[in-house]
């Protein structure tokens, strides 16, 4: 069932587990991840972007999600302009991630507050970022700069009303050059100050034990994109698709992706947690959204 992301992260935070947020590049990847969620009885979050037609992507996610009985959400990731965020709301996603993390605090708050009011008015959840999660290929610099301040994070949540907050505690986007060093003490302090669902960006390559520990310290959503894509490619390289076996390409991608995502559920602790974030009905996150393009 397609649900607001808030339902998923609130339940995850209360239960001290995390939920993987995975890529949604095409129908095969979407169907495979949902299959994994059903088999693991886990909630699931998809990450989307506006580089492809977001209306079609969210239509696919919602359609396939509403065919199953586990909670599924979609989040428009790293929307850096007002127009991008509004497009995400209008496309039928269940959450937007308003990324103003490179702006001064007051500008970040002003932009996110405005977008939170728009999103919440039509039942869409909102995530924002405080501090800055940099790039893995520049980890020596990005990994230790602009980390999130616990008290500022508490104030930011109160000032904006965001449903979850992405924090910078030592991870980075993409593939790491260098060894990730997560500041668990800082994360613990952020959790104690905020008492609110947190998000870990740059989950790929951060270490399974590290991710699991982060989920116990308040992280309710873990973004994992690079690992899913990399492991899928590695799996295909080890699959015999010669001759007529090439007709099994999409089935192979499906099976590889299912196994990858099921393992992520184990790492974050979300296996068997589907029922914890269901509200007892199969209402979609887009009900009440006048912009929803999936309605007939």
- Does 46 reside within a domain? yes
Would the annotation count 10 as a binding residue?
A: no
Q: At what angle do helices 208-216 and 249-268 cross, to 10 degrees?
A: 50
Q: Is the pLDDT of residue 176 over 50?
A: no
Q: Evaluate whether residue 186 is within a structural domain.
A: yes
129 annotated ligand binder: yes
The answer to whether residue 214 is domain-embedded is yes
Confidence of residue 170 (pLDDT cuts 50, 70, 90): confident
Task: Answer whether residue 172 shows pLDDT above 50.
Answer: yes
CA distances from 29 to 145, 229, 230 (A): 34, 10, 13
Q: How does pLDDT run across 91-133, given as a tens digit for each residue?
A: 999 999 999 988 999 999 999 999 999 999 999 999 999 986 6
Q: Does a structural domain hold residue 296?
A: no
Look at residue 35 and tell me whether its pLDDT is greater than 90. Answer: yes
pLDDT at 279 over 50: yes
At 280, the pLDDT band (50, 70, 90 cuts) reads very low
Buried b (16+ CB within 10 A) or exposed e, 259-276: ebbbbbbebbbbbebbeb
Q: Establish if 16 belongs to a structural domain.
A: yes
Q: Is residue 20 part of a domain?
A: yes
173 is in an annotated binding site: yes
Is 45 within the bounds of a domain? yes
Domain that holds residue 144: 5-277
State the SS3 of the chain.
Answer: CECCHHHHHHHHHHHCCCEEEEECCCHHHHHHHHHHHHHHCCCEEEEECCCCCHHHHHHHHHHHHCCCCCCEEEEEEEECCHHHHHHHHHCCCCEEEECCCCCCHHHHHHHHHHHHHHHHHCCCEEEEEECCCCEHHHHHHHCCCCCCCHHHHHHHHHHHCCCEEEECCCCCECCCCCCCCCCHHHHHHHHHHHCCCEEECCCCCCCHHHHHHHHHCCEEEEECCHHHHHHHHHHHHCCCCCHHHHHHHHHHHHHHHHHHHHHHHHHHCCCCCHHHHCCCCCCCCCCCCCCCCCCC
Check residue 80 and give its pLDDT: 86
**Does 111 count as an annotated binding residue?**
no
Domain count, the chain: 1
Residue 84 is assigned to a ligand binding site? no
CATH of the domain at 56: 3.20.20.70
Q: How much is the pLDDT for 204? A: 76
Q: Which carries the bigger pLDDT value, residue 34 or residue 140?
A: 34
The rounded distance, in Å, linking the Cα atoms of 176 and 193 is: 29
**Token pair recorded at residue 184:** 């668990």
CB 133 within 8 A of CB 116: no
pLDDT of residue 132: 64
Spatial CB neighbours of 202, under 8 Å, sequence gap ≥ 6: 133, 136, 171, 172, 173, 174, 180, 223
| Residues 185, 92: Cα–Cα separation, whole Å | 38
The pLDDT score that the predictor gives to residue 202 is: 84
How much is the average pLDDT of 34-49? 97
What pLDDT is attached to residue 261?
A: 98
Residue 283 counted as domain residue: no
**Which residue has 């995400």 as its token pair?**
88
- The residues that are catalytic are 77
């Amino acid at each position: 069932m397609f649900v607001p992301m808030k339902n998923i992260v609130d339940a995850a935070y209360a239960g001290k587990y995390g939920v993987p947020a995975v890529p949604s590049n095409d129908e095969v990847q979407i169907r495979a991840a949902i299959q994994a969620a059903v088999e693991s009885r886990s909630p699931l979050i998809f990450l989307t972007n506006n580089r492809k037609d977001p209306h079609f992507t969210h239509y696919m996610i919602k359609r396939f999600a509403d065919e199953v009985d586990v909670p599924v959400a979609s989040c428009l990731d790293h929307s850096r302009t007002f127009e991008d965020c509004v497009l995400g709301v209008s496309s039928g996603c269940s959450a937007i991630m308003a990324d103003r993390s490179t702006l001064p605090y007051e500008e970040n708050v002003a932009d996110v507050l405005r977008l939170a009011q728009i999103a919440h008015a039509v039942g869409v959840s909102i995530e924002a970022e405080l501090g800055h999660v940099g790039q893995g290929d520049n980890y020596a610099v990005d990994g230790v700069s602009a980390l999130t301040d616990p008290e500022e994070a508490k104030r930011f949540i109160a000032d904006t009303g965001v449903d979850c907050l992405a924090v910078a505690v030592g991870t980075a986007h993409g593939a790491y050059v260098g060894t990730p060093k997560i500041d668990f003490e800082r994360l613990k302090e952020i959790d104690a100050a905020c008492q609110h669902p947190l998000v870990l960006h740059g989950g790929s390559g951060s270490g399974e034990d590290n991710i699991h520990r982060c989920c116990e310290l308040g992280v309710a959503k873990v973004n994992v994109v690079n690992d899913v894509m990399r492991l899928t490619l590695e799996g295909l390289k080890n699959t015999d698709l010669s001759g007529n076996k090439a007709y099994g390409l999409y089935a192979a991608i499906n099976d590889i992706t299912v196994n990858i995502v099921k393992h992520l559920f184990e790492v974050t602790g979300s296996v068997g947690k589907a029922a914890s974030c269901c509200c007892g009905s199969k209402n979609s996150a887009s009900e009440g959204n006048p912009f929803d393009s999936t309605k007939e």
